[in-house]
Amino acid sequence: MSTQTTGRRVVTNMSLSLDGHYAGPRDPEDNGWVMPYAHTDVARDHMTSIRESATTALLGRVNAEGFLAFWPTVIGTEGVDPRDEGFAKWLLDTDKVVLSSTLTQAPWERTTIAGKPTAEVVADLKATEGGDILVLNSASVIKALLAADMVDRLTLTIFPVFLGGGPRLFDDGLPTGRWTLASQHAGEYGTLALVYDRLR
Protein backbone atom coordinates (compact mmCIF):
# COMPACT_ATOMS: atom_id res chain seq x y z
CA MET A 1 0.00 0.00 0.00
CA SER A 2 1.10 3.57 -0.52
CA THR A 3 -0.16 7.01 0.29
CA GLN A 4 -2.05 8.85 -2.41
CA THR A 5 0.35 11.16 -4.23
CA THR A 6 -1.40 12.12 -7.46
CA GLY A 7 -3.96 14.87 -7.96
CA ARG A 8 -5.33 17.21 -5.35
CA ARG A 9 -5.36 15.96 -1.78
CA VAL A 10 -8.31 16.45 0.53
CA VAL A 11 -6.88 17.56 3.87
CA THR A 12 -9.14 17.88 6.89
CA ASN A 13 -8.32 19.66 10.13
CA MET A 14 -10.19 19.29 13.41
CA SER A 15 -9.69 20.13 17.06
CA LEU A 16 -10.64 17.36 19.46
CA SER A 17 -10.79 16.96 23.21
CA LEU A 18 -8.90 14.12 24.85
CA ASP A 19 -12.19 12.25 25.31
CA GLY A 20 -12.90 12.47 21.58
CA HIS A 21 -15.37 15.34 21.17
CA TYR A 22 -15.19 18.41 18.93
CA ALA A 23 -17.76 20.33 20.98
CA GLY A 24 -19.27 20.10 24.41
CA PRO A 25 -22.70 18.70 25.23
CA ARG A 26 -24.51 22.02 25.60
CA ASP A 27 -23.54 24.09 22.54
CA PRO A 28 -22.05 22.47 19.41
CA GLU A 29 -20.88 25.88 18.18
CA ASP A 30 -19.04 26.84 21.36
CA ASN A 31 -15.30 26.44 20.84
CA GLY A 32 -14.26 28.44 23.88
CA TRP A 33 -12.65 25.31 25.34
CA VAL A 34 -10.09 25.42 22.49
CA MET A 35 -8.95 29.00 23.06
CA PRO A 36 -6.48 28.47 25.93
CA TYR A 37 -4.60 26.00 23.73
CA ALA A 38 -5.03 27.56 20.28
CA HIS A 39 -2.36 30.14 21.07
CA THR A 40 0.39 27.59 21.72
CA ASP A 41 3.34 27.26 19.37
CA VAL A 42 2.42 23.71 18.40
CA ALA A 43 -1.13 24.71 17.42
CA ARG A 44 0.03 27.76 15.45
CA ASP A 45 2.81 25.87 13.69
CA HIS A 46 0.34 23.08 12.85
CA MET A 47 -2.03 25.53 11.15
CA THR A 48 0.87 27.11 9.26
CA SER A 49 2.11 23.77 7.96
CA ILE A 50 -1.25 22.49 6.73
CA ARG A 51 -2.19 25.65 4.84
CA GLU A 52 1.11 26.01 2.99
CA SER A 53 0.19 23.53 0.23
CA ALA A 54 -3.53 24.37 0.13
CA THR A 55 -5.09 26.51 -2.59
CA THR A 56 -8.77 25.94 -1.74
CA ALA A 57 -10.56 26.22 1.60
CA LEU A 58 -13.74 24.16 1.92
CA LEU A 59 -16.11 25.23 4.71
CA GLY A 60 -19.60 24.64 5.95
CA ARG A 61 -21.80 27.74 6.18
CA VAL A 62 -21.71 28.12 9.97
CA ASN A 63 -17.96 27.74 10.10
CA ALA A 64 -17.50 30.12 7.18
CA GLU A 65 -19.53 32.78 8.93
CA GLY A 66 -17.43 32.42 12.07
CA PHE A 67 -14.04 32.24 10.35
CA LEU A 68 -14.68 35.03 7.87
CA ALA A 69 -16.07 37.34 10.51
CA PHE A 70 -13.10 36.86 12.85
CA TRP A 71 -9.93 36.32 10.86
CA PRO A 72 -9.94 39.54 8.78
CA THR A 73 -9.88 41.50 12.06
CA VAL A 74 -6.52 39.90 12.91
CA ILE A 75 -4.69 41.49 9.97
CA GLY A 76 -2.77 44.59 11.02
CA THR A 77 -3.63 44.24 14.69
CA GLU A 78 -0.79 45.40 16.92
CA GLY A 79 1.09 42.58 18.61
CA VAL A 80 -0.57 39.81 16.61
CA ASP A 81 1.47 36.63 16.15
CA PRO A 82 2.79 36.56 12.54
CA ARG A 83 1.53 32.96 12.16
CA ASP A 84 -2.01 34.10 12.98
CA GLU A 85 -1.74 37.00 10.56
CA GLY A 86 -0.32 34.67 7.91
CA PHE A 87 -3.29 32.34 8.29
CA ALA A 88 -5.73 35.27 8.12
CA LYS A 89 -4.15 36.56 4.91
CA TRP A 90 -4.15 33.06 3.40
CA LEU A 91 -7.85 32.62 4.22
CA LEU A 92 -8.76 35.93 2.58
CA ASP A 93 -6.57 35.42 -0.48
CA THR A 94 -7.34 31.76 -1.22
CA ASP A 95 -10.30 30.40 -3.14
CA LYS A 96 -13.09 29.40 -0.78
CA VAL A 97 -15.99 27.02 -1.37
CA VAL A 98 -18.83 27.20 1.15
CA LEU A 99 -21.31 24.33 1.30
CA SER A 100 -24.77 25.72 1.91
CA SER A 101 -28.34 25.00 0.88
CA THR A 102 -29.55 28.38 2.20
CA LEU A 103 -27.05 30.95 0.90
CA THR A 104 -27.70 32.11 -2.64
CA GLN A 105 -24.71 34.42 -3.01
CA ALA A 106 -21.41 34.73 -1.20
CA PRO A 107 -20.93 37.71 1.11
CA TRP A 108 -17.16 37.13 0.97
CA GLU A 109 -14.59 37.71 -1.76
CA ARG A 110 -13.09 34.78 -3.70
CA THR A 111 -15.93 32.55 -2.50
CA THR A 112 -18.22 30.15 -4.33
CA ILE A 113 -21.41 28.79 -2.80
CA ALA A 114 -22.06 25.10 -3.50
CA GLY A 115 -25.45 23.56 -2.85
CA LYS A 116 -24.62 20.01 -3.97
CA PRO A 117 -23.73 17.10 -1.68
CA THR A 118 -20.26 17.34 -0.15
CA ALA A 119 -18.83 14.32 -1.99
CA GLU A 120 -19.94 15.72 -5.36
CA VAL A 121 -18.43 19.13 -4.65
CA VAL A 122 -15.12 17.57 -3.65
CA ALA A 123 -15.08 15.25 -6.66
CA ASP A 124 -15.54 18.33 -8.88
CA LEU A 125 -12.72 20.17 -7.08
CA LYS A 126 -10.38 17.19 -7.37
CA ALA A 127 -10.94 17.20 -11.13
CA THR A 128 -9.48 20.72 -11.36
CA GLU A 129 -5.89 21.96 -11.12
CA GLY A 130 -4.58 23.23 -7.81
CA GLY A 131 -3.07 22.38 -4.47
CA ASP A 132 -4.64 20.78 -1.44
CA ILE A 133 -8.32 21.21 -0.63
CA LEU A 134 -8.32 22.12 3.06
CA VAL A 135 -11.39 21.56 5.22
CA LEU A 136 -11.11 23.70 8.34
CA ASN A 137 -12.92 22.49 11.46
CA SER A 138 -16.23 21.99 9.63
CA ALA A 139 -17.39 18.82 11.37
CA SER A 140 -20.36 18.09 9.10
CA VAL A 141 -18.17 18.41 6.00
CA ILE A 142 -15.41 16.24 7.44
CA LYS A 143 -17.91 13.59 8.56
CA ALA A 144 -19.37 13.40 5.04
CA LEU A 145 -15.92 13.06 3.49
CA LEU A 146 -14.85 10.39 5.98
CA ALA A 147 -18.04 8.45 5.24
CA ALA A 148 -17.27 8.65 1.51
CA ASP A 149 -13.60 7.68 2.11
CA MET A 150 -12.46 10.87 0.38
CA VAL A 151 -10.03 12.18 3.01
CA ASP A 152 -6.38 11.85 1.96
CA ARG A 153 -4.78 13.57 4.95
CA LEU A 154 -6.35 13.77 8.40
CA THR A 155 -4.87 16.41 10.69
CA LEU A 156 -5.91 16.64 14.32
CA THR A 157 -5.05 18.88 17.22
CA ILE A 158 -5.74 17.08 20.49
CA PHE A 159 -6.23 19.27 23.55
CA PRO A 160 -5.89 17.86 27.10
CA VAL A 161 -9.48 18.52 28.11
CA PHE A 162 -12.39 16.20 28.88
CA LEU A 163 -15.65 17.73 27.61
CA GLY A 164 -17.71 14.96 29.18
CA GLY A 165 -20.00 14.56 26.20
CA GLY A 166 -21.05 16.20 22.96
CA PRO A 167 -20.69 15.30 19.29
CA ARG A 168 -17.88 13.08 18.05
CA LEU A 169 -16.00 13.31 14.77
CA PHE A 170 -15.69 9.57 14.20
CA ASP A 171 -19.09 7.92 13.94
CA ASP A 172 -19.68 4.18 13.85
CA GLY A 173 -20.00 2.72 10.38
CA LEU A 174 -17.10 4.55 8.70
CA PRO A 175 -15.39 2.65 5.87
CA THR A 176 -12.56 0.48 7.13
CA GLY A 177 -9.11 1.68 6.18
CA ARG A 178 -5.53 2.14 7.30
CA TRP A 179 -3.64 5.36 8.00
CA THR A 180 0.03 6.16 8.48
CA LEU A 181 1.36 8.77 10.89
CA ALA A 182 3.07 11.48 8.81
CA SER A 183 4.02 13.79 11.68
CA GLN A 184 3.49 14.36 15.37
CA HIS A 185 4.32 17.31 17.58
CA ALA A 186 3.73 17.81 21.28
CA GLY A 187 3.58 21.25 22.82
CA GLU A 188 2.77 23.31 25.83
CA TYR A 189 0.04 22.07 28.18
CA GLY A 190 0.07 18.64 26.55
CA THR A 191 -1.29 19.75 23.17
CA LEU A 192 -0.70 17.25 20.34
CA ALA A 193 -0.68 17.99 16.61
CA LEU A 194 -1.07 14.79 14.57
CA VAL A 195 -1.05 14.26 10.81
CA TYR A 196 -2.22 10.96 9.28
CA ASP A 197 -2.15 10.01 5.58
CA ARG A 198 -4.65 7.54 4.14
CA LEU A 199 -3.11 4.33 2.84
CA ARG A 200 -4.76 3.25 -0.40
Q: Measured in whole angstroms, how far is the alpha carbon of residue 154 from the centre of its chain?
A: 9
**Above 80 in pLDDT, residue 49?**
yes
Burial (CB < 10 A; 0-12, 13-18, 19+), residue 171, is exposed
This prediction has a pTM of: 0.91
Q: pLDDT class for 81, splitting at 50, 70, 90?
A: very high
pLDDT tens across 111-136, in order? Answer: 999 999 999 999 999 999 999 999 99
* pLDDT(2) > 50: no
Which DSSP state fits 95? E
Angle separating helix axes 139-147 and 118-126, nearest 10 degrees: 80
Complete domains list, the chain, with CATH: 10-199 (3.40.430.10)
CB 181 within 8 A of CB 159: no
Higher pLDDT, 170 or 38: 170
Q: Which of 195, 42, 45, 61 is nearest to 132 (CA)?
A: 195
Q: Is the pLDDT of residue 189 over 80?
A: yes
Give CA–CA dist 132/55, Å, rounded: 6
Q: What is residue 21's three-state secondary structure?
A: strand
Residues 42, 186 contacting (CB under 8 angstroms): yes
Tell me, what's the pLDDT at 5? Answer: 44
Look over the chain and give the mean of its residue pLDDT values, rounded to a whole number: 91
| Model pLDDT, residue 1 | 47
